[in-house]
Amino acid sequence: MTEVTIHAADGGSFSAYVAAPRSGKGPGILVLQEIFGVNQVMRDLVDGFAGQGYVAMCPDLFWRQQPGIQITDKTEAEWQRAFQLFQGFNVDKGIEDAKAALAALRKHPASTGKVGTVGYCLGGKLAYLMATRSDADANVGYYGVGLPDLLGEAKNIRRPLVLHIAEKDAYCPPEAQAAITQGLGAKAGVTLYSYPGADHAFARVGGQHYDKAAADLANGRTAEFFHKTLG
């Protein structure tokens, strides 16, 4: 568990939290952050993937606004700051930064060279875009936001993609879910899972809408998916 520096394609640099498996070698998983930065929740996810045998990395994608953001979902002030960061986030620059992190992860001494991505909330959107814009070997998005506006990029998907969708997600209402299903449901290599009764961020441990049953099911599916595509 350590911090590394990633060099952005357009200049500058940013940090990333990395954890390696005990075996010393494994495929890579790029963990794409929620709107709260690379906080303890994201670091725990990185550590968890390392525990499954992966070299996991979570880059600081808010660095262009303010490096080192680590806030929680516990206070109104933090929520307001998180939404400010979300609104100020340049998605295209964020994807370029994620691609730079992906390339660094492929070259990490402990990495086998195969690398997938997994993202949550904002990161779920970015994981979808990594499927359309990067050479990641496999991608997983949890309750991604704003996907209906990006379905025109689906034609670029060449590697396996899994999307976990929360049925009661206020940020992805029924009409948005229907658009996602219509746009992606029949596409080869894309798997959509819906979680009845689950709300946005159902897999965020300790969060208001944490749903252990749904989280365990989704996480199990993610583990199986990465085992097949990256193992």
Cβ atoms 50, 56 nearer than 8 A:
yes
Per annotation, catalytic residue among 73, 199, 200, 211: 200
124, 14, 4: which is closest to 60 by C-alpha?
Answer: 14
118-145 burial by CB neighbour count: b if 16+ within 10 A, else e? bbbbbbbbbbbbbbbbbebbbbbbbbbb
Cβ atoms 16, 101 nearer than 8 A:
yes
Residue 169 bears catalytic tag: yes
Residue bearing tokens 């295209």: 92
36, 6, 223, 163: which is closest to 98 by C-alpha?
Answer: 6
Per annotation, catalytic residue among 169, 199, 209, 211: 169
Strands 2-7 and 138-142: unpaired
Residue 97 bears catalytic tag: no
Residues taking part in catalysis? 169, 200
